[in-house]
Amino acid sequence: MLRRLDLKDSWRALYRGFWPDDLPLGGRTVVYGHNGSGKSTLSELLLSLAEGGCATGVVWEDEQKNRNNIKVGGASPLTSMAVFTRKWVEANLSAFLDGAGATAIVTLGKEAIDAKEEEHRLVEEIGELRDEAAEAAKQQKAADDKVEKLARGLQDRIVSELKEFDYSHFTKNRYSVPKVQDDLRKYKGDFPDSNAHAEALKRLGEAAPSPVPEIVAPPSGIASLLVSLPETLAETPTRFAIKALEGNPAAQTWVEQGLILHEGLNHCLFCAGEISGNRRDQLARHFDESWLQIRSKAKKLLEAVVGEKKELVAWHAALPAAASLASELQSVYEGAVERAKTDVDDRVVVLVAVEEALNDKIADPSATPSVPEWASLNTTPSATLLAQAVTEHNDRARRHAEVTAERKQTVLDHLVGSQSEAFRALEKQAKELAAKSQTAKDAANLAERRLDEVRQAQFTTKDMADTLTRDLARVYGKDHLSVAVTSDGKSYACRRGNGPGTDLSDGERTTLSLLYFLRKLEDEQTPGGDRSQRIVVIDDPSSSLDREALFATHQWLIDTLKGFGQYIILTHDFSLLRLFIKSHKNVWGKSMSQIKKNDADEIRFPKVSFLEMYAASVDGERRSRVGRLPRVLLHNTSEYAYLFSMVMAGIADSEDHERLFLLPNAARRVLEVFASYKAPHRTDFLQQLEALVESQEGEPYRDVYDFCNRFSHGEGNESIDVLDARAVHGQIRRCMEFLRAVDSEHFERMCTGAGIDVAALA
């Protein structure tokens, strides 16, 4: 059941928190409120919940205070819910009440009602299915066009990008749209990325590579010879040294060369001095055989070092140029060449140092130059990358046709692979839409066959016509209105006496609509269904009814709604409210007694609940609120007393009164009742009011007549414009001052009866 309803956001005149937590609905609930209070808004919200299309986000609180959040478009937690509103009448009874000349009523009776509803549902469903099929077919065509467009676009790219590399192979004839689509459909797994695609196209544009010489190993034999370098540099001659020549390599060289020039001579070629035998013996001992051996070893080692240096430089210079290799290998190869040059240069530096040390030793075998650091010569410059790059280049040169084919495949795999997933998704979508369209067509055809069967089931029965006639008689009298089966047996006609029931009044339309709703409610009960689990909501069941019809309608509602789990009646009719208060007096009294005894179940969800809806000012705006039924409504038998007390309370509370929006109309209603009693000789309210205004000398209350004539209005639809009561608050006070001036005794008695201080207007 429904205990109370709250909103997540404002909707029309309703706002979040408009319904206090301590004012629950009951098993039997009557909500009273003047037109414009928000009753119909609340009813339409409940109708949208019942129809499974909630107009706004709400919180449904059940009888156990469990809260259910319902989103826009959602349904009530309780599926068995029926709501009678003007909107429901407009949606369901257009054929029932179709204008002034209407004589036919929609078909009734369980079979006929079900058939009629089924017909409307099927017609709507068939239209929706046809629309759905057409829309799906339209979407399918769009998806098919996208599939075709994607395949043709890919075909164009394949031909445009690869045809120049193989004119006879990459043609639109060989790569037809069906072939491209099949390739797209079958392609699975990874595919070359855009960088690989661009690289492959770039390489395809290059000329075929030519073989280059293989890389030979760099020279590396010097290290084994340099093992003796320390010994050679440290070795000295075993001889008699001439002090004048010791430590003077230039002089020694000059003298050593001079000995050769003076072989067999007794005199010096330069100074003409005599060369004695003793001098020759002395020089021979100085330049002995060990001297010559040391120099010879140093010269041989120097020759090897110089040769190694030349070979290293020549090896690096003989490396193929980077530009002669395949472009994709050039970067790696060029880096390897640079690293090889660094290695060669480092070794040349070491060899130059060794060369200088050996030259010093040759110049003076007796000298002992320091040994240079030559350990780095134990390693050979790395030529692995150089050799691998050249090998791969030469392999590609030999396999040029195969490599070119691989590059073409890379381009093709990228083009197809990058589009394959999107293509399959589009194809899947197109197939699903085709299936959806066909399913909708099949369903529509099936529904049309069912529609033919349903239309055959819409014949009415005389039993239901008699039932409706008895219902009308209970409300209006036997000779007022009746219902009969039409001559073709397919619908009902409304009769007034012996003639057609045309020009139905608002009250008659309300009664017929309500009877339809209640009979339909009965027919909706399925065998074994539990009425105690259903909610029935009825908005304004008494609109435009006379007193006798109102009394009958009240009793009809009491009898018909008995046994339902919960019913909620919303009304602006004070007389109907009094009838419900009287008919529920005993049950309501017991409920109030249990509440006073703090019965938790009764407090949470009472058996009977009387509430009020009214328009109030919330943050300066007109909003609807739910409140307790005021005491004056419970204890007064006339609406006049309630309206009188409301207006007087509003005057007392000045502009802070929460019912400011109701006061202008309430003041007018009070004066209507008062004027009809004081001036019954006039035919309408304004004439009666003018007579009372003119009865006061000088007509001091002419402004009251102007106010009622121009600014306030009587009862009407809830869509009427509501005045800003703050702007006319003074005029409302003037209305009550006018009533007191015309009949002060009556005014004082009304104040006493309503519990209002007579001095409130002082």
Mean pLDDT of 302-316: 88
Q: Is the pLDDT of residue 576 over 50?
A: yes
**Which pLDDT score is estimated for 298?**
87
How many whole angstroms from its chain centre is CA 145? 28
Candidate from 9-13, 191-195, 618-622 with smallest mean pLDDT: 618-622
User: Which range has the top average pLDDT, 204-208, 548-552, 592-596, 706-710?
Assistant: 592-596
Pairing of strands 58-61, 4-7: antiparallel
pLDDT at 66 over 60: yes
Give residue 721's pLDDT band: very low, low, confident or very high (50, 70, 90): very low
Q: Give CA separation, 14 vs 9, 56, 86, 88, 325, in Å.
A: 9, 11, 19, 20, 83
> Which of 749, 747, 750, 730 has its CA nearest to residue 739?
747
Tokens 């009602």 appear where?
A: 113
Single out the residue of 270, 242, 272 nearest to residue 258, CA to CA: 270
Point out the least confidently predicted range of 110-124, 526-540, 654-668: 654-668
> Does an H or E element contain 48, and which?
helix 39-50
Number of C-beta neighbours around residue 310 at 10 A: 13
On the 0-12 / 13-18 / 19+ scale of CB atoms within 10 A, 460 is buried
User: The dihedral of CA 13, 16, 21, 26: what is its sign?
Assistant: positive
Nearest to 109 by CA among 451, 468, 454: 468
pLDDT at residue 717 is higher than 50: no
- Banded model confidence at residue 26, pLDDT cuts 50, 70, 90: very high
Give the pLDDT confidence of 359-379 residue by residue, as tens digits.
988 888 878 889 898 888 888
CB atoms within 10 A of CB 114: 17
Look-up of token digits 């207006």: 647
* Residue whose entry in the numeric block shows the structure tokens 């996208």: 146
What does the mean pLDDT of the chain come to?
A: 80
Question: Cα separation of 716 and 735, whole Å?
Answer: 21
Rounded average pLDDT over 91-96: 56
Is 651 a residue whose pLDDT tops 90?
no
Q: How many CA atoms lie within 13 A of 480 on its CB side?
A: 19
Tell me which DSSP letter residue 538 carries: E
Phi/psi class of residue 477: alpha, beta or left (left: φ > 0; alpha: ψ in -120 to 50)?
Answer: left
Say whether 82 sits in a helix, a strand or coil. strand
pLDDT at 102: 46
Query: pLDDT value at position 745?
Result: 92
Is the pLDDT score of 310 beyond 70? yes
Q: Supply the pLDDT for residue 528.
A: 43
pLDDT bracket for residue 719 (50, 70, 90): very low
404-408, long-range: CB < 8 A, 24+ apart: 404/165, 404/204, 407/200, 407/201, 407/203, 407/204, 408/162, 408/165, 408/166, 408/200, 408/204
Contact 726, 678 (CB under 8 A): no
3-state secondary structure of 38: coil
Helix axes 177-186, 400-455, angle to 10 degrees: 90
- Could you tell me the pLDDT band of residue 37, with boundaries at 50, 70 and 90? confident
- Whether 283 has a pLDDT exceeding 80, the answer reads no
* 3-state SS, residue 482: strand
Check pLDDT > 80 for residue 94.
no
Query: Is residue 416 within 8 Å of residue 140, measured between CB atoms?
Result: no
Q: Which two tokens stand for residue 484?
A: 């009969």
Q: What is the pTM of this model?
A: 0.50
Would you mind telling me the total number of residues written for the chain in this entry?
762
Q: Residue 722 — very low, low, confident or very high, per pLDDT cuts 50/70/90? A: very low
The pLDDT, as a whole number, for residue 605 is 92
Separation between Cα atoms, residue 194 and residue 601, nearest integer Å: 73
Outline where 567-656 has alpha helix (H).
574-583, 585-596, 600-604, 631-635, 639-652
pLDDT score, position 205 = 67
- For residue 244, the model assigns a pLDDT of 55
Whether the per-residue pLDDT at 507 is higher than 80: the answer is no
**For residues 151 and 90, which has the higher predicted lDDT (pLDDT)?**
151
3-state secondary structure of 30: strand
Q: What local confidence, expressed as pLDDT, does residue 572 receive?
A: 86
Q: What is the token pair recorded at 4?
A: 């109370």
- Could you tell me the pLDDT band of residue 716, with boundaries at 50, 70 and 90? very low
Q: How far apart are CA 708 and CA 732, in angstroms?
A: 10
Instruction: Return the SS3 of 124.
Output: helix
What's the number of CA atoms in the CB half-sphere (13 Å) around residue 51? Answer: 16
pLDDT band of 578, cuts 50, 70, 90: confident
